[in-house]
Amino acid sequence: AQKITQTQPGMFVQEKEAVTLDCTYDTSDQSYGLFWYKQPSSGEMIFLIYQGSYDEQNATEGRYSLNFQKARKSANLVISASQLGDSAMYFCAMREATSGSARQLTFGSGTQLTVLP
Amino acid sequence: SQTIHQWPATLVQPVGSPLSLECTVEGTSNPNLYWYRQAAGRGLQLLFYSVGIGQISSEVPQNLSASRPQDRQFILSSKKLLLSDSGFYLCAWSLTVMGQGYGYTFGSGTRLTVV
């Protein structure tokens, strides 16, 4: 079974509007971390936001917020006031406590976001 | 501050030729190190990870290998490249302390084309 599922291969949003990128995860661990990364066409992976499984508040970082619904195992990324520079591939990832000492991240398949002028 | 360097940025190699990609980390000690591969338009596939010098774990059987000769150096190699080795290779590091919330820091990547 997929550990991280991103069901939206591509999304379009009008500039200055908000957009939600979906992410669901599967784990039996009680302790885990959820991450979102942005990958522009240059290829670099840019860390955006983190949510710990024990965090009671939804994480926020500037225009990025994470809508964390633990019971539903979802960790959707919300981008407010979209900008043209937000056009990129977005990856959801999870790090489980039982993934061993290396603490590997497992990535979803990504969502390609295009911001329209 | 910590930085990660990965080179070369792009590489075109003929089938059957050897490969060596290097990644170095500065500003931290005893990091976990990772090699990922990304096929065009796809997600990231973990290839190798290392928790210490000389300690390499392989996630996917293939004709690639990895080595960690120094604490902050991680090398991805192949003796004979295949067409299917083409892709975008990313090196990353993370802290080893449990509870560190900020995931990986990635290098800028190497775009490998095998022709």
Q: Which chain B residues touch A5 with a CB distance below 8 Å?
A: none
**Per-residue pLDDT band at A1 (split at 50, 70, 90):** low
| Residue A69 φ then ψ, to 5° | -120, 95
> Does residue B8 have a cis bond before it (omega within 30 degrees)?
yes
Contact A45 B92 (CB under 8 A): yes
* Maximum distance among all Cα pairs of chain A, rounded to whole angstroms: 45
Segment holding B65, helix H or strand E: strand B64-70
pLDDT tens per residue, range A3-56: 999 999 999 999 999 999 999 999 988 888 899 999 999 999 999 999 989 988
**Per-residue pLDDT band at B40 (split at 50, 70, 90):** confident
At B16, is the secondary structure helix, strand, or coil? coil
For A81-94, the three-class secondary structure string (H helix, E strand, C coil) is CCCHHHCEEEEEEE
- Give chain A's contact residues with B (Cβ, < 8 Å): 33, 35, 37, 42-45, 47, 50, 52, 91, 93, 95, 97, 101-105, 107-110
Is the pLDDT reported for residue A62 higher than 60? yes
Is the pLDDT reported for residue B101 higher than 60? no
| Confidence at residue B59, expressed as pLDDT on a 0 to 100 scale | 83
